[in-house]
Each structure stands twice: as C-alpha cells, then as structure tokens.
C-alpha cells in the first residue's frame, strides 16, 4: 500500500478544572490536556499485495489518478473499542503541503503532510476514520479551528456527536468519484489469516484505526516522525474492464456463415446499485466458510476465501466480501435504470473500464435480477436483418425474402422445406405439380424481437393442399427477428467464481435457487456458494470475451428470477478479479 503520513494538531476536548489533571502524566505524551498538540498517523492507499496465494497483483498500465488524494476529512471517535466507539467530531485536513516523493516509477504521491487542528479526546481511547476525495458528500462547518465542528454532514445526513460507529458505518453514500478523484474510506481488516487454513478462533474484524494517545507532540515535525497509528483505506468503487480478444473477423463454431466482427461487440453494465454504505460491512460469521469440494475442486490455497492467507502487516489481513444496502431483502428498486439497446455503446475491443457501486447478496438472492452483469451486443449477418426459427438450429440464420445467397437460405425457403418434410399433402403437391409456387410475407416486430408469417400464397395447376395458411405455419414455428443483425447477451460478473465456490451443473436439475444451490450437511448453501457472484468495492474485474458460441437474444432481456447458474452458455470468457491488482478466474459462460 502507498503510505500518506498525516499529522493532526489536537487541542484538549475539555478544559480541566483542577491543576492536577493538567499535569503531564507518564505515558501520556508530551502535551497536557488543555494544550494544543499534533498527532501523526499514516494512511495506507490500497496497493499492498497482502493477499491469498493465488492473487497475482498487477495494476497493468499505471494509473496515478486512481491513487490521487484531493482532500481528506478525519472523523474522530472515542470509546474503549470499536463496538462502543462514538463520534466526537470531524475535521477537514489541510493537504496543501502534500507532494510527490519524486520517484519516476511511482504510481501516486506516496508521502506528504496534512494538518488539522482538532480537539484532543480525554479519558478514553480514540480512533480515526478517514474519507479521502469526498466528492462534495462531506461538509464540516467549524466555529474555529480549535473547537469541534458545529455541523458535520455526510451525503446530506447530519452527523450528531455521540453517533455510534455502527450507525456511522451504514450512512448512505452515493458518489464514487472518477479517476483522479475516487472516494476512499477505511477498509475492514482482520487480525487472523485465512486462505489455506481455517482462521484461528476469536478472529476480529476492525475498521476504525486506533490512535496512540501517548504520541501527541508539541511539534508537527515530531508527530510526523512518530505516527500514532495507521489507517488502511480502500476505494469505494469497484472497477470493471471488458476486452474482446478473438480475431477481428470471427464465426460461431465452424460455420463461416454465422460470422461477426470483434469491432461489433459492445457492452454496458446492468444492475448497478445507486448507493453504498459509508464503510464496507464485513462479518466474522463468514470467516470459517469453505466450499466442501462436492461440486468440484476447490483451490486449496484459498479455501477459506473470505480472508487473505498472508497479512499486509502484523495483525492486518485483507477481507474479501461485503454486505451491501439491499443484501438480503430482495429489493431491486435501489438499482439504476438498466441499459437499453441504445445505451450499449462501449466497444469491447478497446478494453475500456468503468467504476461501479458494490453489489452483493446472500445465496437466497443469487439470481439474475440481483446480480450485476454486462449487457453485451454483437452484430451478425453484416448488420442485415435475419430470423431464427424454433424448429431449426439455434445458430441457423434465415435471410429476408429475396435476400438469400448460395450459402444462407431465406425464411421462405426454410418454411417451404419444413412443410415438404412434415406435411404429406404439401409434399405430394410439390412433387406432382411442376408449376407449383410457394410464397410468403413476414410481419416483423423489432421491439419484441419476434416475427410471424403474415400471408401465404400457393399457386399451381393441380389441387392445392388444404390448410396451409399463415395461422397453420405460425402454430408450428415461432420466429425470432434480429433487427440490424444484433444479438444481445447478459454476462453475470463473478466474485469468488469456480476456484473458491465451484458449482457443477450435472448435480442440479431443478432450476430454482433451492435446487441450484443446495448442499449436503454439514456444508450449507452459504458455506459452499456465498460470494460466487457479486461486486465488491476496491476489486477490479477484468472480463475477457474470447468468443461467442451461440446467437443470443434479439432484444435486451431484463434480468429475472433465474438463478445465476444455469444450463445455457453463450459467451466464452475469462474473468480476472483484481483487488486493484490481479486475482485470476476463468470461466466459459
């Protein structure tokens, strides 16, 4: 992690009424109550690899703007521990002296001094929570630099003194920021490791950074050289990058007629939360979860998937999941509007990225309508309209009447062939009447992606077969209509995926949540599958689209109640998950 050293000047929170309480006591630092002083602490930006054994950390192209700090706000809490800590006051921190250390290979500014004149808590321990790059969500109004803030708001919510940290951590936030101004806040860390081994009993998760009250100094320089604690921060956003890696001109399977181009593949993110909790919510009850291996091989190095197998520093271990604002209530009203066809515009061949809000859920809600995914489009048939018939192959394109070729038949040709093979009267008529002709007209509905036979015309010199009309054909065959040759896919984004939460389709037949995600005791659906899908802040999801195995839907389909795992796969992809660095995951969807 990149370190930023902060020193904050403190004044006494309460003016003592008797001289004995103003005396400097052993171990109390060199500043007495009622005097101003400085406390220094470092902020660790999210770069250190302290991760599980299969986490390969690589930021790819350096992005200094993803580490940039434009402003900082300190929220000071007091209490005996995080569980009973209460808000004291907030202080804007001065970062005008913040400067780069001059290393050419650095991705960001690593050290600098910022100061805030704040009041020293008394008769309790004190803890720090920091918001970097608040994007106008934090306001602090002070009557003077040496007194507590008169008003503090977060995202328009007034923060009263005495607010518990538990309540503070769940304040609603909405802005993520963009590259160059990404919101960052304290990250929850654990004091025990996971990964290959079950975490030791008594593991604790903490988000607040405890500050050492003995390290309050009369000078800013001394505070900087003797930090009172360390704050570990993470970005509030998750990052998604999509890259198409197939050949410039590709086809489905070995059929050269069902072709598409890499340049035609475009994407947009769906099921994106509008809001997120101020602090990531991580629970100790998840720490012992490990898939039992009945569904497939579990990566032994990351079996206990909710914790890193190695510490960042002593007693500081990364955590890998979260409870978001609509985690288990089934609420999807908190999502932004999903993309329509006109919104799916980002070219996959460019490898572009977007920042999105955290979105997680328990196994009971591990369904498409709750899961963040990608709406992807691909263009077939050189951008010309085509049909798919329900009685033909899923990848058999049928051209408009009059638009056929030597290799691709028209919808009229196919219907004629189908009737010849499935209606004896029609077959006899065609075989016996050399002057027989068959013609149809189609009615297309681009909004629903459907089509039907509108009219049938039979001519010939002999008796015409009876009952061969539009209604008869439409009862036998249903048609999909692909306007402009565009097909759509919904690709769900995985978090732990197959390496830590394998799922075997051969073991499940009932297409319900209970049937797809069942487990044999002592395993539970949560221990086996929690976190298989989802988006967690400060993770980088790199999605590589390497091919298409089937023509998708003719319209953008709204995600529904279908479980995230199912039997049909359309896109061949490889997914890399990076906690702003790389943990690889491969999958064919």
- Give the Cα separation of 139 and 151 in Å (integer): 8
**Burial class of residue 18, CB neighbours in 10 A (0-12, 13-18, 19+):** exposed
Of the candidates 568, 428, 406, the residue with the CA atom closest to the CA atom of residue 491: 568
Residues sharing a CB contact under 8 Å with residue 296, sequence separation 6 or more, in sequence order: 498, 502, 503, 504
Q: Which range has the top average pLDDT, 8-17, 97-106, 248-257, 524-533?
A: 524-533
The answer to whether residues 72 and 95 touch, using CB atoms and an 8 Å cutoff, is: yes
**How big is the chain by its Cα radius of gyration, in Å?**
31
- Give the Cα separation of 534 and 495 in Å (integer): 5
Supply the mean pLDDT for the chain: 83
> Dihedral through CA 14, CA 20, CA 26, CA 32, nearest 10?
40
Q: What pTM was estimated for this model as a whole?
A: 0.88
Average pLDDT over residues 149-155: 84
Of the candidates 133, 146, 124, the residue with the CA atom closest to the CA atom of residue 45: 133
Residue 418: CB atoms within 10 A of its CB come to 17
Residue 33 pLDDT class (50, 70, 90 cuts)? low
Beta strands in 337-380 (DSSP E): 346-347, 353-356, 373-379
Residue of higher predicted confidence among 142 and 366? 366
Structure tokens at 155: 């995202």
Residue with tokens 């969500």: 137
**Tell me, what's the pLDDT at 456?**
97
- Give the Cα separation of 568 and 580 in Å (integer): 31
DSSP state of 122: -
The answer to whether residues 133 and 178 touch, using CB atoms and an 8 Å cutoff, is: no
Residue 562 pLDDT class (50, 70, 90 cuts)? very high
The yes-or-no verdict on residue 588 having pLDDT over 50 is no
What distance, in Å, lies between the first and last C-alpha atoms of the chain?
34
Which helix (H) or strand (E) segment is 166 a member of? helix 165-169
**Tell me, what's the pLDDT at 103?**
36
Model confidence pLDDT, tens digit, residues 413-436? 999 999 999 999 999 999 999 999
- Give the Cα separation of 32 and 41 in Å (integer): 19
DSSP state of 60: S
Q: Is 158 helix (H, G, I), strand (E, B) or coil?
A: strand
Residue 102 pLDDT class (50, 70, 90 cuts)? very low
Q: Which residues pair with 240 in a beta bridge?
A: 354, 541
- Give the Cα separation of 565 and 584 in Å (integer): 20
CA 47: distance to chain centroid?
Answer: 19
Residue 63 pLDDT class (50, 70, 90 cuts)? confident
Of the candidates 335, 305, 109, 325, the residue with the CA atom closest to the CA atom of residue 195: 305
**Tell me, what's the pLDDT at 17?**
23
- Give the Cα separation of 543 and 426 in Å (integer): 51
């Amino acid at each position: 992690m990149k370190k930023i050293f902060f020193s904050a000047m403190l004044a006494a929170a309460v003016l003592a009424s008797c001289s004995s309480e103003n005396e400097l006591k052993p171990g109390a630092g060199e500043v007495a109550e009622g005097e101003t002083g400085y406390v220094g602490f470092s902020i660790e930006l999210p770069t250190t690899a302290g991760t599980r054994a299969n986490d390969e950390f690589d930021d790819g192209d350096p992005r200094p703007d993803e580490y940039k700090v434009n402003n900082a706000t300190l929220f000071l809490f007091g209490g005996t521990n995080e569980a009973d800590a209460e808000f004291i006051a907030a202080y804007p921190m001065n970062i005008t002296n913040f400067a780069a250390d001059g290393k050419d290979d650095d991705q960001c500014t690593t050290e600098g001094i910022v100061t805030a004149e704040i009041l020293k808590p008394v008769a309790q321990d004190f803890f720090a929570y920091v918001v970097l790059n608040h994007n106008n969500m934090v306001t602090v109004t002070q009557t003077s630099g040496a007194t507590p803030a008169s008003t503090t708001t977060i995202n328009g919510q007034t923060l009263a003194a005495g607010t518990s940290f538990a309540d503070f951590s769940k304040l609603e936030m909405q802005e993520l920021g963009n590259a160059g101004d990404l919101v960052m806040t304290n990250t929850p860390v654990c004091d025990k490791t996971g990964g290959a081994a079950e975490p030791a009993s008594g593991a604790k998760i903490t988000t607040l950074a405890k500050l050492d009250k003995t390290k309050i100094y009369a000078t800013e320089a001394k505070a900087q050289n003797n930090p009172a604690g360390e704050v570990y921060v993470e970005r509030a956003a998750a990052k998604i990058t999509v890259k198409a890696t197939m050949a410039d001109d590709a086809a489905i399977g070995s059929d050269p007629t069902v072709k598409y181009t890499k340049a035609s593949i475009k994407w947009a993110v769906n099921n994106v939360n509008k809001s997120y909790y101020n602090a990531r919510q991580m629970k100790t009850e998840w720490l012992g979860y490990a898939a039992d291996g009945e569904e497939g091989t579990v990566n032994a190095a990351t079996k206990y998937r909710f914790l890193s197998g190695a510490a960042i520093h002593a007693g500081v271990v990364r955590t890998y999941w979260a409870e978001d604002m609509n985690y288990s209530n089934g609420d999807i009203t908190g999502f932004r509007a999903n993309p329509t066809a006109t919104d799916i515009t980002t070219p996959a061949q460019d490898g572009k990225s977007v920042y999105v809000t955290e979105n997680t859920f328990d196994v009971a809600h591990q369904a498409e309508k709750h899961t963040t995914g990608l709406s992807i489009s691909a263009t077939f048939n050189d951008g010309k309209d085509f049909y798919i018939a329900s009685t033909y192959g899923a990848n058999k394109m049928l051209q408009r009447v009059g638009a056929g070729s030597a290799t691709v038949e028209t919808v009229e040709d196919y219907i004629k062939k189908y009737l010849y093979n499935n209606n004896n009267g029609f077959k006899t008529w065609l075989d016996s009447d050399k002057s027989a002709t068959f013609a149809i007209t189609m009615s297309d509905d681009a909004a629903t992606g459907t089509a039907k036979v509108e009219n049938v015309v039979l001519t010939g010199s002999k008796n015409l077969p009876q009952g061969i009309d539009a209604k008869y054909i439409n009862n036998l065959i249903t048609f999909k209509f692909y306007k402009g040759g565009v097909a759509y896919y919904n690709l769900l984004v995985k978090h732990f995926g197959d390496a830590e939460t394998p799922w075997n389709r051969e073991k499940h037949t009932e297409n319900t949540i209970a049937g797809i995600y069942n487990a044999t005791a002592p395993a539970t659906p949560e221990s086996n599958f929690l976190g298989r899908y989802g988006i967690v802040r400060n993770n980088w999801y790199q999605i590589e689209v390497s091919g298409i195995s089937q023509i998708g839907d003719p319209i953008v389909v709204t995600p529904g109640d279908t479980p995230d795992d199912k039997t049909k796969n359309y896109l061949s992809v490889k997914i890399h998950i990076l906690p702003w660095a790389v943990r690889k995951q491969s999958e064919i969807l």
